[in-house]
Amino acid sequence: MTVSLLEAFVHPSAGEFNNLRLAWIGDAAMQLVVSDLVFESLPELATTDILTDRRKAMVMRDFCAEGAIKLGWDKVAVAGKSFPKDKELTTNMLAEVFEAVWGAIYKDSGNNQAVVHDVYKRLFPLHALSSNEAAEEAAAATAEESASAVQNWWNNID
């Protein structure tokens, strides 16, 4: 485990060694990966508005926080002494951990976006988004429906 990956789990309340910078670069790395995966999984039926809504739904704070929990990253995240030990981490804290891990993967791979893409795709397969039914749904989807479709996909990931 490299320093960057360890750093990804440390909230700024714990001190100078924290995940803020990694969350910043991880957000950008994740945006590109999600954009590519959504583009590839939805056929030409999907307009740019639909693609944008789907991507937006997949990089929202709540979605990122759920991802951190789904992967067990909430169990290893570290907050400062001022954060009550019996309190669960906030949505924002978990979302930052999620983004920071993608930033750490990006930095630790020598800034290789393909590595981030491969790891993300393995952890979160988009097979549900690429079905014909999902494509038809996406073609008629509003922003709210896109968010709902992404949530349904998310809930079905093992």
- Is 145 a known active-site residue? no
3-class DSSP state for residue 1? Answer: coil
Instruction: Report which secondary-structure segment, H or E, holds 13.
Output: none
Per-residue pLDDT of the chain (158 residues; tens, 9 = 90+): 566 888 999 988 888 888 999 999 999 999 999 999 888 887 776 788 888 888 888 899 998 999 899 899 999 888 887 776 767 888 999 999 999 999 999 999 999 999 999 999 888 775 444 444 544 454 455 545 555 555 555 555 55
- Is 27 a known active-site residue? yes
Domain residue spans of the chain: 3-155
Which candidate in 53, 96, 99, 137 is catalytic? Answer: 99
Q: Report the C-alpha gap between 107 and 74 in whole angstroms.
A: 21
pLDDT for the residue 127: 46
Which candidate in 7, 27, 53, 66 is catalytic? Answer: 27
The predicted model scores a pTM of: 0.77
pLDDT for the residue 131: 44
Task: Outline where 42-156 has alpha helix (H).
Answer: 48-58, 61-70, 91-108, 113-123, 132-139, 143-155
Does the domain formed by 3-155 have CATH 1.10.1520.10? yes
